[in-house]
Structure 1
Amino acid sequence: MEFTTALWCVLVAAILPLLTVYPAKFDRKLDNRDPRARHAGQTGFRRRAYAAHLNAYEAFPLFAAAVIVAGLTGADRATVDALAVAYVVLRLLFTAAYYANLSLVRSGLFAVSTAVSVAIFTSALWS
């Protein structure tokens, strides 16, 4: 199996939660000895950054599995690569919408990025 753009996107999507959480982690007022309690006490932007971080982890398994399934089933590589790049872009926009407290935009981006993962998963059937 060749290392495709889609597989690089899996790596990017795996790292994205770690980058997403930085605004929540840089709150010096909170104690890091109990990080879950620390984040539960946050509000506003920092709380949304932590929620975006958790959501990135929640969305990742479907995307990673979809790329692997597409590769194993012989889906069109160009289609899968384009959809994988679209997924990463959508997740970046999702994070920005979460940070900006744009709940309807965020929900729409979540739905579309999930649909993209499903499209990647099933792409061997239609591409």
Structure 2
Amino acid sequence: MTIAYICVFIAIFLPFVFAGLAKSEGQFDNARPRAWLERLEGWRQRAHWAQLNTFEAFPPFAAGVIIAHQLNASQTWIDGLAVAFLIFRGLYGYFYIADRATLRSTAWTGGFACVVGLFIVAAFI
């Protein structure tokens, strides 16, 4: 298994880290989880939003890794971009929870650039 595939596996669990933080208040309503999550405020609300965005970011990342492998792109590039994606997404969640909007957007852009990079290396390298 390549480093990039391991990164895909790790990325599967990243949204659950943010979900756990959002639900850490201790009064989580499992009977009505969506309604309960929508009433959150402050950093827990932002952790929930980070969870949602991290779920959204996963499919293009996984597709990029798989496609780059299928097309025999440079393994060094694939692995590097996959590791960088995880770092950017971790920072994204941290900055989101910390309410640092500009840094959050910068980290989001870095993660997105890694996904685009996977498709570029698949096509050209």
**TM-score, length of structure 2 as denominator length:** 0.95
Deviations 1:71-102 (A, max 9, x none): 00010001100110000011111111011000
Which of these residues, 13, 16, 32, is aligned with residue 14 of structure 2?
A: 16
5+ long unaligned stretches in structure 1: none
Distance 1:95 1:110 in 2: 9
Per the TM alignment, residue 27 of structure 1 is displaced from its structure 2 partner at its CA by 1.8
Secondary structure at the counterpart of residue 72 of structure 2? coil
Structure 1 runs of 4+ aligned residues shifted over 3 Å read none
Q: Which moved more, 1:99-108 or 1:57-66?
A: 99-108
Task: Find out whether 1:109 has 2:118 as its counterpart.
Answer: no
How many pairs align? 125
Query: Aligned residue for 1:33?
Result: 31
The one-letter code matched in structure 2 to 1:107 is S
Which of these residues, 59, 63, 71, is aligned with residue 57 of structure 2?
A: 59
Distance 1:67 1:45 in 2: 32
**TM-score, length of structure 1 as denominator length:** 0.94
Distance 1:64 1:125 in 2: 16
Per the TM alignment, residue 29 of structure 1 is displaced from its structure 2 partner at its CA by 3.4
Coordinate RMSD, CA, aligned? 1.0
Query: Aligned residue for 2:117?
Result: 119
Secondary structure at the counterpart of residue 99 of structure 2? coil
Query: Aligned residue for 1:97?
Result: 95
Q: Which moved more, 1:66-75 or 1:116-125?
A: 116-125
5+ long unaligned stretches in structure 2: none
Distance 2:120 2:71 in 1: 9
Secondary structure at the counterpart of residue 42 of structure 1? coil
Identity within the alignment, %: 38
